[in-house]
Structure 1
Amino acid sequence: MGRPGPKLAELVLSAYEREVLRRWERASSTPQALALRSRIVLACAEVEPDGLPRSASSVARQVGVTCETVSKWRSRFVAHRLDGLGDAPRPGRARTVSDKQVSEVVRATLETRPKDATHWSTRSMAARAGLSQTTISKIWRAFGLKPHRAETFKLSTDPFFVDKVHDVVGLYLDPPERALVLCVDEKSQIQALDRSQPVLPMMPHVPERQTADYVRHGTTTLFAALNTATGEVIGALHRRHRAREFKKFLTQLDREVPDSLDVHLICDNYGTHKTETVRKWLRAHPRFQLHFTPTGSSWLNLVERWFAELTNKKPRRGVHRSVEDLETDITDWIKDWNENPRPFVWHKTADEILDSLARFCRCITNSGH
């Protein structure tokens, strides 16, 4: 007959402790480790039919852990109650960077510049702060600081900026009935570029490679009208982008848009859009109405987003040995796009845009806005 095990310390749960342990055991938000420890303690608090405390082995079989694990958490609970089921502090090196040092790094990054550069690097900031480069990187990541990056912006000086924003955004969010809203612009100087040497194809672990120099074979201009409701595009290619070509494009739109619909054209302030030739054509076609974006605000014209899509998919890395090849490539891409058009949905109201710009201007010293 084996020797009896050591006598177990009494484990009696109060009503509050039992309620907390059951909540930890059942709640989906409880960490799995804490839920398991709660089940162990609840099982240990039960008694056998003969009135004796349950053994570690029977609890281990029920819960699916080892006897050592049951003994550990039973003892921890008896000694420290509910607080004993948490993880004990782990050994490790004490913190070496104080809150004051972190605050100084953030302040210096935001408010100062190095003497020999326009922005801080991890190395230069580490030298200034007396910390390691790795520590600076961790602090910058924690506070979302990226001194090496810079973005561009331009504030419109159009005296009718507010009115034009309300006009254009109103067409996006609440288009008129029995009317078509088209975002119109021309992408000029699209170059037909051929690389001076053959392109090396992509291979495993090696990207596609092109020569840095190229041969120019001429340029073309794409006139495009993006349907804001469906995402379909009406396009026309011309070698030049004068008022004459813009008038031809308007005539094309007049042919392709059903006569029963009014046409609202959103376009920028390029000179060819405002010539007497164009104004005369518009007077002869009263169903066409032009809506101009504010100067310096091409971001308000959704067709610019479509131009970016075209540029990334074709001209940027394409190889074209003639303007005709380039124009054929663009025409085919527009045809493929229209087979499965994707509209670009505008979400922000005019007031939200103006409030955002007002907050931005307040952050700029002497913005004049």
Structure 2
Amino acid sequence: MAKWRQRFIEARLEGLIDEPRPGRPPTIRDDQVEQVVIDTLESTPKGATHWSRASMAKRSGLSPSTVGRIWKAFRLKPHRAETFKLSKDPLFIEKVHDVVGLYLNPPEHAVVLCADEKSQVQALDRSQPVLPMMPGMPERRTHDYIRHGTSSLLDIADGKVIASMHRRHRSVEWLKFLKKIDREVPAHLHVHIVCDNYGTHKTPTRSRSGA
């Protein structure tokens, strides 16, 4: 503490700043770092979709490891890409408010349900029996399979699930599913169903049936 007090007496606040430390001075200039970041964000290499460490190193004159450290410091990952989709529905905002409102503030004397066809959840069976594992050989299965139907699930806030299995995804099966919901939900409750824009949810068959 005596050292820092003396430095404050002699140089006031400037005396509290660390003095230059020994060691090799930095070899990468700030403008080089800035240029790597700008090139990464605003350009792509010729004949490629995104920069790699090697291609950026060749462009910048830095080493691939240095490029990697710069990307890590600025949280840049040129090799990664994610997808998104913007709705063209002019009433998109109003519909979002309706759906979110049903979840956050459901009406009284009503039940809010969320429905979805789980086409990925299928009852599958292999075309041939599975060959069991043997010493030096893993279990083997045929590449082809037989479908035994897909499932429709409906999750309710209290954890209850209403499910039905169908071989096909048509408006006829969707209507059967809605009728099943009508039978299982107490008659005194109003039913609100949140579903996607899948074609089977919007066919004339469903509209004529009043479901």
Global fold match (TM > 0.5): yes
**Matched residue type, 1:80:** R
Q: 1:184, 1:225 within 8 Å by CA — same for their partners in 2? A: yes
Q: For residue 240 of structure 1, what is the aligned residue in structure 2? A: 168
Shift of 1:174: 2.0
Bigger radius of gyration: 1
The answer for the alignment partner of 2:183 in structure 1 is 255
Aligned residue for 1:80?
A: 7
2:143 pairs with 1:214: yes
The alpha carbon displacement at 1:282 in A equals 2.9
User: Cα deviations across residues 9-59 of structure 1 (Å, max 9, x unaligned)?
Assistant: xxxxxxxxxxxxxxxxxxxxxxxxxxxxxxxx5xxxxxxxxxxxxxxxxxx
Which of the residues 20, 23, 27 maps onto 1:96? Answer: 27
What is the total number of aligned residue pairs between the two structures? 201
Indicate conservation of the 8 Å contact 1:185/1:225, yes or no. yes
Identical-pair percentage = 53
Measure, in 1, the Cα distance between the counterparts of 2:142 and 2:20.
61
| TM superposition score normalised by structure 2 | 0.80
Aligned to 1:155: 86
Structure-2 separation of matches of 1:263 and 1:174: 14
Q: Residue in 1 aligned with 2:196?
A: 268
2:105 is equivalent to residue 174 of structure 1: yes
Partners of 1:147 and 1:211 in 2: CA distance: 38
CA contact 1:185–1:268 (8 Å) conserved in 2 = yes
Shift, 1:270, TM fit:
2.3
CA contact (8 A) 2:126 2:141 kept: no
Does the 8 Å CA contact 1:189/1:219 hold for their aligned counterparts? no
Distance 1:110 1:77, change over 3 A: closer
Question: Unaligned 5+ residue runs, structure 2?
Answer: none
Write out per-residue CA displacement over residues 119-145 of structure 1, whole angstroms, 9 at most, x where no aligned residue.
Answer: 000111011100011111111111111
Relative to structure 1, is the Cα distance of residues 102 and 194 closer, same or farther in structure 2, using a 3 angstrom cutoff?
farther
Q: In 1, are the aligned partners of 2:50 and 2:78 still within 8 Å (CA)?
A: yes
Larger % of helix: which? 1
